[in-house]
Amino acid sequence: MADEKLPTRAENFAEWYNQLVLKADLADYAPVRGCMVVKPYGWALWENCMSALDKRFKETGHVNAAFPTLIPMSFFEKEKEHVEGFSPELAVVTHGGGEKLEEPLVVRPTSETIIGYMYSKWIKSWRDLPVLINQWGSVLRWELRTKLFLRTAEFYWQEGHTAHATAEEAKEEMFRILDAYTDFAVNEAALPVIKGQKSETERFAGAQITTSIEGMMQDKRALQSATSHYFGQNFAKAFEIQFVDQNNTLQFCETTSWGLSTRMIGAIIMTHGDDQGLVLPPRLAPIQAVIVPIYKNDDEKSRVMAVADRVFMELKAAGIRIKMDDRENVSSGFKFNDWEMRGVPVRVEIGPKDVEKNSVALARRDKPGREGKSFVQQAGLVDTINQLLVDIQASLLKRATEYRDANIHDPKDYEELKQVVQDGWALSYWCESKECEAKVKEDTKATTRNIPFEQPDHGGTCIVCGKPSKRKVYFAKAY
């Protein structure tokens, strides 16, 4: 329950975030270091993310399945880059049933290996392709520094794994999913993310191409919100995923994988939240509107509740996710603050005055104080609230987009780049050499986020070394 105020975002953004997650009742710390418990309210938000994404996966021909949590250790040694990338953060099971295991088992940090192994058994012919499987589950990475939702040891996500006959098809798949992620982020979560390709240093262990969507948080740090990878034949060769093509020739498959995690919830919090607490986009909010009935005595209570109950039934019947706050032991003022902390988009206040005037008071979460309050007729309330939810969704996206654009800079030279990435992003030409990338990181702690697909129609010169450069890249400090 929201029992006291948050630090302001300006005061201490990190602490604002930590306390908000707990006070909005999204999650709690688990007894194991770095692990979190996702509480019912947080899980309801994740469920809404899941169904919006799952719908998009199904629409593009994907099916769900479930692969095991435990993976033989030897699987990780089959792909060189993959093992280098993941071995430091593996959790390993060495005993079972009271006996030491012959081969240690890894708690999956990601499932390319086990799924690759299974695909090698399932795929024989070009007729078996493509295989388009997704799984919803959790994975475990022994992270050294954790933060609720942004980086926990165990986290919930979906991971899609696909196998194709040709490189073209596999790359198309990677982009198709990246587009689905972007559509979800923009139109469901109201996050104006940027699509692009990761640099060689930043890409996934074992991938040939990694693409990502990147969002700007209110502290102007970047958050990689989802990734989609093209592996070429790397995993197919490591796990012998082969098929006979139409010319009766044995070929290796081309594979992809892609994932979006509960980290998305962190992105929503840090993009839309304000000093009063969470602000949820209506399309994903577990509760879209809450009714707070206000009364002084039994007589008022019976009159107010008659109206409140009727309004509740109407809104519910119209498909609005509605909650009645009929708690008797806390004041109205407390309830207002409590629901603001939890980010409910619309609050419906109904008191004796409203009963008399056939009105209700509406408060929209995206606009604080008096500005967000309006007094409307009970008649037509379903339409009024539906419209308000649409408005809020749009205004959150607009606000976040304007904020992002206002904080992306085009520095003139390297000196200016060093300055702007301290409190914003730079979009600059880069020669794509590791040396220049490393220099920026060394000097500023900013890394390349991605090379956006939208590029100017002409090249330029690298902001670091001055050599000719074809494409611009985003530099930013990241989570």
Partner RNA sequence: CGGGGCGUAGCGCAGUCCGGUUAGCGCGCUUGCUUUGGGAGCAAGAGGCCCUGGGUUCGAAUCCCAGCGCCCCGACCA
Binding string, residues 305-324; x marks residues near RNA by CB under 7 A: --------------------
* Exposed e or buried b per residue across 340-349, where buried means at least 16 C-beta atoms within 10 angstroms of its C-beta: bbbbbbbbbb
Of 5 and 412, which has the nearer Cβ to RNA? 5
Of 130 and 188, which has the nearer Cβ to RNA? 188
Check residue 471 for interaction with RNA (CB under 7 A).
Answer: no
Check residue 294 for interaction with RNA (CB under 7 A).
Answer: yes
Using CB under 7 A, which of the segments 40-48, 177-185, 291-299, 462-470 binds RNA? Answer: 291-299
Among 138, 233, 332, 386, interactor with RNA by CB under 7 A: 332
Check residue 67 for interaction with RNA (CB under 7 A).
Answer: no
**Residue 224: in which H helix or E strand, if any?**
strand 222-232
What does the DSSP assignment read for 37-95?
EEPHHHHHHHHHHHHHHHHHHHHTT-EE----SEEEGGGGGSSHHHHHHHGGG-EEEEE
Check residue 445 for interaction with RNA (CB under 7 A).
Answer: yes
Among 263, 323, 409, 472, interactor with RNA by CB under 7 A: 263
Using CB under 7 A, which of the segments 58-66, 83-91, 113-121, 280-288 binds RNA? Answer: 83-91
To which residue do tokens 């619309």 refer? Answer: 346
Amino acid at 30: A
Of 123 and 213, which has the nearer Cβ to RNA? 213
Binding string, residues 6-45; x marks residues near RNA by CB under 7 A: x-------x---x----------x--xxx-----------
What does the alpha-carbon distance between residue 155 and residue 35 come to, in Å, rounded to a whole number?
8
Among 147, 399, 439, 471, interactor with RNA by CB under 7 A: 147
Q: What is the DSSP letter of 370?
A: G
What does the alpha-carbon distance between residue 271 and residue 278 come to, in Å, rounded to a whole number?
10
Among 334, 418, 419, 461, interactor with RNA by CB under 7 A: 334
Among 330, 379, 390, 406, interactor with RNA by CB under 7 A: 330
Check residue 446 for interaction with RNA (CB under 7 A).
Answer: no
Residue 169 Cα to chain centre, angstroms: 26
* Residues in Cβ contact with 5 at an 8 Å cutoff, skipping those fewer than 6 apart: none
Q: How many Cα neighbours within 13 Å face the side chain of 256?
A: 32
What does the alpha-carbon distance between residue 131 and residue 123 come to, in Å, rounded to a whole number?
8
Min dist. Cβ of residue 194 to RNA (A): 14
Check residue 150 for interaction with RNA (CB under 7 A).
Answer: yes
What does the alpha-carbon distance between residue 139 and residue 422 come to, in Å, rounded to a whole number?
33
What does the alpha-carbon distance between residue 264 and residue 225 come to, in Å, rounded to a whole number?
6
Using the Cα atoms of residue 236, residue 240, residue 243 and residue 249 in order, give the sign of their dihedral: positive
Check residue 435 for interaction with RNA (CB under 7 A).
Answer: no
Of 131 and 304, which has the nearer Cβ to RNA? 304
Min dist. Cβ of residue 456 to RNA (A): 27
Among left, alpha and beta (phi > 0; psi -120 to 50; other), residue 97 is left
Among 353, 412, 434, 467, interactor with RNA by CB under 7 A: 353
Residues that bind RNA (CB under 7 A): 2-6, 14, 18, 29, 32-34, 85, 88-89, 141, 143-147, 150-153, 155, 202, 204-205, 224, 227, 259, 261, 263, 276, 294-297, 328-334, 336-338, 340-341, 349-354, 361, 363, 369, 373, 445
